[in-house]
Chain A
Amino acid sequence: MERALRYVLFYSALLAAWAIVAKLKIWPPYLFPTPWGVGEAMWAGFMDHSFWIAIGVSMKRMLLGYGLSVVLGMILGVGVANNKFLEETVGGLLVSLQSLPSICWLPMAVLWFGLTEKAILFVVVMGSLLSVTISMETGRKQLPKIYSMAGRNLGARGFQLFWHVTLPASLPYIVTGLKQGWAFAWRSLISGEMIFVSLGLGQLLMMGRDLNDMSQVLAVMLLIIALGYLVDGFVFKSIEKRLQQKWGLAAAS
């Protein structure tokens, strides 16, 4: 309870400081909006459905792009982990590619796919694919051999073995990578949407800039933070929690 109190205190202090600075009118309101101005922009955005639509569009892209990169990343990761040749060649390439900010894929994507959904999906996938692949690869390597031996012993073969044994057994090792992949995908998506116009939260943010509407800019920023935080706090936390319950604390943490 005391923790909740500290949270409330901290955030009300932050809000109060913001309100006071805004009230002093050191900067004009279109550069430094008031908290209630941002609140109004938020309210208005939801009331005219533009925020809802943007959230829907962005989330759909996230689910598609992230889902795709998880599937691809797992296939790639397992392949790299199981094959010495691939590990030395593709494995090294993956690590070096990770130093490329994902938004750098956008020009290429636009040239290939034009200003389409495919281009933005491409950027999202490239943003998260590498971290999923790398975590899958390391997870696969850390995985004790006993599980796949026991699985084969009990009659699991091929894809069955992967689906029922290898994948669940490596979950505690890869959940961190999956989470990181989500965060990367989220960043890539918003930056992608900011650069090329087509609905979505990123575009809403740029629209705020074009209209010189700082309140809307801040409202959308808050929305982006909140969404990212919600997914992390609810989806991934609950996966981690479930893993801990099943495996016992030691293995999953």
Chain B
Amino acid sequence: MHLIAGLHRQTSGDVLIDNEYVQGPGTDRILIFQELGLFPWLTVGENVEFGMRMKGASKQERGTKTREYLRLVHLAKFKDSYVHQLSGGMRQRVALARALATEPDVLLMDEPFAALDAQTRDLLHDELERIWTETGRTIIFVTHNVREAIRLGDRVALLSFRPGTVKREYMIDLPRPRHLEDANVAGAAREILDDLREEINKSLEKEYGHGARA
């Protein structure tokens, strides 16, 4: 994720987006960090407009877009609150609005919902899907939760144990909206989990010298 976002340099190989090399960070690729990295000294609204301000957008444009994206994540009422006053799920949505407000081509999300309770996470799945449909952005989403990957993704890439390469890719063409508990989601998860287990065994063998029984 950090390589795609241009925050770190790769040691070998190239990172290409639409046939263009990635050279350092750019607002066409916005990463939502696992720990969010919202700015506590700014209000929710100021956080959302931060990217636009750096770009030098006019005050008026910033105002309209900030309102628009806060509405999109259902936080319009909290424009003037500070980050520490919000719950975990709300902070997550602020981070999402802040990332979307720079209108990136690619949105990178690094295990964004891992720290949330199940209810909030379900809700945010619905919202993310809705926002994705409305904005049509490409989203790269890292997760350890196979069902979450199938719930949200069109394409799921399974990464292998060290060295981390793409082990296999799965096209998910289940009808939307999907739900975590759906039978076909669970069915698709089964297939990926079997492949995943192989990787987990490999990692256990490396670390403890013997495999776990499946």
Contacts and interface: CB of A to CB of B under 8 A. Distances in A.
Nearest to A247: B40
A164 B25 CA distance: 17
Size class of the contact patch on chain B: 20 to 34
Contacts, number: 67
B41 A154 contact: no
Contacts of A151: 50
Most interface-central of B31, B35, B41 (chain A CB within 10 A): B41
Interface residues of A, number: 23
A253 interface: no
Contacts of B50: 151, 154, 156, 164
B68 to A, nearest CB: 17
Contacts of B5: 153
Interface of B: 5, 7, 25-27, 30-31, 33, 35-42, 50-51, 53-55, 82, 84-85, 98, 102
B40 A153 contact: no
Interface of A: 146-147, 149-157, 160, 164-165, 168-169, 171, 243, 245-248, 251
A164 B54 contact: yes
Contacts of A153: 5, 7, 25, 30-31, 33, 37
B39 A168 contact: yes
Given A248-B84, A251-B40, A149 B54 contact: no
Contact of B33 (A146, A169, A171, A251): A146
B33 A247 contact: no
A150 B102 contact: no
Nearest to B55: A155
A147 B31 CA distance: 13
Contacts of B39: 147, 150, 165, 168-169
B33 A154 contact: no
